Amino acid sequence: MKIDPSFVVHETEHWLLNHHLSSTLPGYLMLGAKAPIHSLADMPDAALAELGGLLANIQRVMEAQLKPKWLYISRFGHMPGFPLHFHFIPVYGWVEALFWQDERYRVLQYFGTQQKATDGAELTLFIWREFGESPTPPVAQGPSVSEVIQDLRAAFSTEGST
């Protein structure tokens, strides 16, 4: 799959970092292998060697620039046509507040507890459904997707990162 250059945040020899193409959540990034490979076990050694430092650097830059409450880093990877890729999902305080305000997600609340408690799976589901699949996504607070892309590009270029 060809990524629109306006979504590309950073690129290395073996990896491409872009904003999620269908998410309106500013800062939801995808790190994809340039090689058409679906398994870490099949990755070239050079791509694997580059990966560890790159994952850490992406986390460092995102936390410094976006200041999310949490940053989820995941691999789901079973969509046909997509190479190996990782999701970087910033969970801002305002996203969590929207989650708690949406009664449809209360069925996910832990049973038998009076505390407001949730986990990464529930918030990830909320983000996917509301910011990715909903025809009327919530209004994002703070910088827009395009502003975040520009800010992150600048941060990566000044880092001289891998």
**Cα 84 from chain centre:** 14
- The string of pLDDT tens digits covering residues 69-102 is 999 999 976 667 778 999 999 999 999 999 999 9
DSSP string, 65-114: HH--SEEEEE-----TT--SEEEEEEE-HHHHHHHHH-GGGGGGSPTT--
Tally of domains within the chain: 1
Q: Do the domain assignments include residue 162?
A: no
Taking the C-alpha atoms of residue 149 and residue 27, their distance in angstroms, rounded to an integer, is 7
Q: Do the domain assignments include residue 161?
A: no
Q: Do the domain assignments include residue 33?
A: yes
Q: Do the domain assignments include residue 43?
A: yes
Provide the pLDDT for residue 131. Answer: 98
CATH number at residue 76: 3.30.428.10
Q: How sure is the predictor about 161, in pLDDT bands with cuts at 50, 70 and 90?
A: very low
Q: Do the domain assignments include residue 48?
A: yes
Taking the C-alpha atoms of residue 1 and residue 24, their distance in angstroms, rounded to an integer, is 20
Q: Do the domain assignments include residue 32?
A: yes
| Domain encompassing residue 13 | 5-156
Residues 6+ apart with CB under 8 A from 54: 12, 15, 31, 161, 162
- The string of pLDDT tens digits covering residues 109-143 is 665 555 666 778 889 999 999 999 999 999 999 99
| Closest among 65, 84, 68, 66 to 76, alpha carbons compared | 84
Q: Do the domain assignments include residue 107?
A: yes
Q: Do the domain assignments include residue 81?
A: yes
- The string of pLDDT tens digits covering residues 144-158 is 999 999 999 999 998
